[in-house]
Structure formats: structure tokens, C-alpha cells
């Protein structure tokens, strides 16, 4: 029998960047470059070797395949650092869609239509008062 320590387990993480990429806010190529430069393997950055591969698929997806120790929390940490560095952290968030699948999405901004209608009614009343 093999022990669990001898078995290499590969994990595949995918990050869907389609929403911010379509708006032109996010560049997946620079994101891949950032991940390659900043992922630590055995305490050293830029030491990916063959244990971790970072690649881009379909211009909107980034795929990380790791046989070394690598977690989704670490990927989230690095992604948030990248967003902060590029000053887009206030608009984009890192969301878990499924296990080992993530997505970059814009924060949802709810517009209250009642407030908009109240403003329109006030403007109409002011216009009517000005005509008299």
C-alpha cells in the first residue's frame, strides 16, 4: 500500500474573468504574469517549476494547475492584492462559483427606482410652479 504522503494530488483552479474583461477594466495577461511572479513555492517567489502552471484560456479564463501545496484562499489573497495594486478592488470582487472554480464579478449596485421617480415628480412640480 502507498502512503498518502507519496501520492501527488493535482488541483485545478479556474478563474473566470469574462465580466471585467469585456468592459476593458481587467487584463487577464497581466493577471497571469502577476500570479507567476508572486506565487510562492517552498517559500520562494518565482519558483514555480513544474509543480504549478498558470495559463490563460479563451481570453477570459485563467487556469492554475498545482501539484504542490496550493489553496483557493491563497489564490483569493493574490487576486485581491492584484486588484488593489491596479486600483480596481473597489469595483471587482472574487467570488467562489463551485469548488475550485472562481469568478471575478462587479459589485452589484441596486438603484432604487422610487427615489428616481420622486426626483422626477419634484422637477415636474418645480417646472409647473415656474410657469405660473
Write the CATH number for 24. 3.30.1360.210
Specify if 111 maps to a domain. Answer: no
Structurally, the chain folds into a number of domains equal to 1
Specify if 116 maps to a domain. Answer: no
φ, ψ of residue 45 to 5 degrees: the values are -80, 155
pLDDT of residue 124: 59
DSSP lists the bridge partners of residue 37 as none
Half-sphere exposure of 96 (CA within 13 A, CB side): 9
pLDDT in tens, 77-110: 999 999 999 998 889 999 999 999 999 998 877 6
* Mean pLDDT on 63-78: 92
Specify if 93 maps to a domain. Answer: yes
Specify if 20 maps to a domain. Answer: yes
φ, ψ of residue 44 to 5 degrees: the values are -125, 135
Residue-range definition of the domain harbouring residue 44? 11-106
Specify if 118 maps to a domain. Answer: no
Specify if 123 maps to a domain. Answer: no
Specify if 57 maps to a domain. Answer: yes
Whether 119 has a pLDDT exceeding 70, the answer reads no
Amino acid at each position: 500500500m502507498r502512503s498518502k504522503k507519496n501520492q501527488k494530488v493535482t488541483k485545478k483552479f479556474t478563474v473566470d474573468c469574462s465580466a471585467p474583461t469585456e468592459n476593458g477594466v481587467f487584463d487577464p495577461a497581466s493577471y497571469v504574469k502577476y500570479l507567476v511572479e508572486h506565487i510562492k513555492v517552498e517559500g520562494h517567489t518565482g519558483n514555480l517549476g513544474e509543480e504549478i502552471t498558470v495559463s490563460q484560456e479563451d481570453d477570459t479564463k485563467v487556469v492554475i494547475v498545482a501539484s504542490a501545496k496550493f489553496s483557493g484562499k491563497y489564490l483569493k489573497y493574490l487576486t485581491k492584492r492584484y486588484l488593489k495594486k491596479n486600483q480596481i478592488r473597489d469595483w471587482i470582487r472574487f467570488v467562489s462559483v463551485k469548488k475550485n472554480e472562481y469568478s471575478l464579478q462587479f459589485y452589484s449596485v441596486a438603484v432604487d427606482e422610487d427615489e428616481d421617480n420622486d426626483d422626477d415628480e419634484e422637477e415636474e412640480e418645480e417646472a409647473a410652479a415656474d410657469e405660473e
